[in-house]
Amino acid sequence: MLLCLFSLFGFSCVKKDRLQAILESGEITVLTRNTGHCYYTYREKPMGFEYELAKAFGDYLGVKLIVRTPAWEDLLPDLDKGKGDIIAASMTVMPLRREKADFSESYLEVRQHVIRHKDNTEVRAIGDLKGKTVHVRRGTSYEARLNGLKNEGLEMEIVLHDDAPTEELIRMVAEKEIDLTVADSNVAFLNRRYYPEIRMAFPLGEEESVGWAVKKGERALLAKVNEFLGKIKADGTFEKLYNKYYANVEIFDYVDLKKYRDRLDERLPKFEAMIRKAARKHNFDWRLIAAVVYQESHFDPEATSHTGVEGIMQLTRSTADHIGIQDHRDPEQSIMGGVKYLRKLYKSFNDARDPDRTYLALASYNVGRGHVEDARKIAEERGLDPNSWASLEQVLPLLRYRKHYKETKHGYCRGTEPVRFVNRIRIYYDVFRRQAVN
């Protein structure tokens, strides 16, 4: 009877849920953080692991994504006030937070780590925090964990920073402005490449779950989020996005990265104009080419590989002849020829899209296009995308084994080498970009 009365006066007694509102408006608003692992812009292009996940969710729903970046302590209150539909901010799931919002199923497991400078050798275990000062952002799971240790009798000082990104506190440790901070493992791994002076001293506890949050009671939206997360885990989308931002950050070589940063200052200036000229002519980001040159020769025109290949771009004699380079040991000729050859390889993968297309070209530069084509064929036979670098990372190492290469056109190759080659260039290029050099 009440339903009828409401209907007569033009009212509805059924409250529209958030998912319905999103679908009808054609927009979904995500609340996230403006950080290197959540959301940022690079040359006016939005990027970030959480952003790309949220964008994929918007596409899944067929709606436009709107991004808001409130202060950390405002994320949950803003969600409750309806200023956003979901929180996608690498937020760990805690009992206190569950009282304020409903969380999705976990899509990532992380552990908190104490972060110190490499010179700070006093802090190696939890007990070493006694008498020390640890800096963390207010309202985080880091603060909760440290307070728990204090309540258990571990005397230390906890300095709370309002809305300070974890990356900023890590920078402060690297530059010795503060002694200690805490970061989730994924954030620590990512920033270790930018600040090779830091160390992950030890974990503070067990693994924690990371999830998206929706307003309390929004069951339909939460169910759709979980459905989406399950789908992208199953079809490989999640892995591809994770690898884009976090792959190989666990493989850390302090000496190598420190040497790289030093040589960017010491050796690169001599060859920078040559690299910029070649990159401009063949339409590449010059910093990518600089990363390739470093990987090949450490900016040393006299470099000779263990296979006898010489020069700053490590061009073989046959390749140099093929692309018309007279003296592949001459730095300018070698750089121009190497970039010309890379562009030729890039053009050959016209079915692939960037960044995969670039990675396929780089792998071919290292090991030869024939082996890459063999790997692509195996990938296709295994139901994998032959135009995806994530697929080739899995398949190229198989070419070391006879049962896999015996049916291929080009036979055996050390398939781990092109994988390592590409991924190191990705790291060098990323470090270079983060230095804001244009």
Where does 82-207 show beta strands of DSSP type E?
A: 86-92, 102-103, 108-110, 112-117, 133-137, 157-161, 180-184, 198-203
CA distance 10 to 178: 62
- Checking DSSP bridges between strand 102-103 and strand 198-203, what pairing results, if any? unpaired
CA distance 395 to 376: 8
Judged by average pLDDT, the poorest of 71-85, 156-170, 306-320 is 306-320
Look at residue 383 in the predicted model and tell me its pLDDT. 95
Structural tokens at position 405:
């290469």
Question: Which CA distances in Å does 92 have to 65, 75, 193?
Answer: 23, 13, 23
The DSSP-derived string for 40-75 is EEETTEEE-HHHHHHHHHHHHHT-EEEEE---GGGH
Q: Residues with catalytic annotation?
A: 296
pLDDT (tens digit, 9 = 90+) per residue, 43-78? 457 888 999 999 999 999 999 999 998 988 999 999
Please say whether the beta carbons of 57 and 28 come within 8 A.
yes
Look at residue 276 in the predicted model and tell me its pLDDT. 96
Structural tokens at position 15:
């409250």
Q: Indicate the class that CATH gives domain 112-205.
A: alpha beta
Judged by average pLDDT, the poorest of 135-144, 218-227, 257-266, 372-381 is 257-266
Look at residue 36 in the predicted model and tell me its pLDDT. 76
Look at residue 14 in the predicted model and tell me its pLDDT. 53
pLDDT (tens digit, 9 = 90+) per residue, 101-120? 999 999 999 999 999 999 99
| CATH code 3.40.190.10 region(s) in the chain | 17-107+210-246, 112-205
Top mean-pLDDT range of 36-45, 51-60, 414-423: 51-60
| CATH code 1.10.530.10 region(s) in the chain | 254-434
Look at residue 4 in the predicted model and tell me its pLDDT. 45
CA distance 278 to 263: 20
CA triple 188-245-335, angle to 5 deg: 110
Percent above pLDDT 90 for the chain: 63
- Topology annotation, domain 254-434: Lysozyme (1.10.530)
CA distance 343 to 402: 32
Looking at the predicted structure, is the pLDDT value of residue 262 above 70? yes
Confidence of residue 320 (pLDDT cuts 50, 70, 90): confident
Residue bearing tokens 């402005």: 177
The mean predicted confidence, pLDDT, of the chain is 89
- Residue that wins the pLDDT comparison between 242 and 88: 88
Tell me which CATH code domain 17-107+210-246 carries. Answer: 3.40.190.10
- Checking DSSP bridges between strand 45-47 and strand 180-184, what pairing results, if any? unpaired
